Amino acid sequence: MPVIETRRLKEAEGQEAWAALRPDLCVMAFVTEIIPHEVLELPRLGSIQYHPSLLPLHRGSSAINWAIIFGRTETGLTIFWPDR
């Protein structure tokens, strides 16, 4: 599996490297920045994303921390097709 290293997918260099891979599917786990729509739509089968909470509860980058702070005894994860 090819590995690319880029600062950000918002920059042309990152988008060009991603496009050169010609991906079938993108699986994003714990994404901490907003990914451009062009990048999400590039894979033939689309992009799916994972978030470590039951959205919309504890949305944002500290979902696990907030579940602990609020004393949740149950939590979960959300897998979704990101859109605009």
Note whether residue 66 is domain-resident. Answer: yes
Note whether residue 4 is domain-resident. Answer: no
Note whether residue 7 is domain-resident. Answer: no
Note whether residue 35 is domain-resident. Answer: yes
Note whether residue 6 is domain-resident. Answer: no
Residue 9: its pLDDT value, please?
82
Task: Count structural domains, the chain.
Answer: 1
pTM above 0.95, yes or no: no
Note whether residue 33 is domain-resident. Answer: yes
- Over the chain (84 residues), what is each successive 10-residue block's mean pLDDT? 77 89 90 86 94 92 93 95 84
Note whether residue 68 is domain-resident. Answer: yes
Note whether residue 5 is domain-resident. Answer: no
The whole domain housing 55 covers: 12-80
Strands 78-80 and 47-51: antiparallel
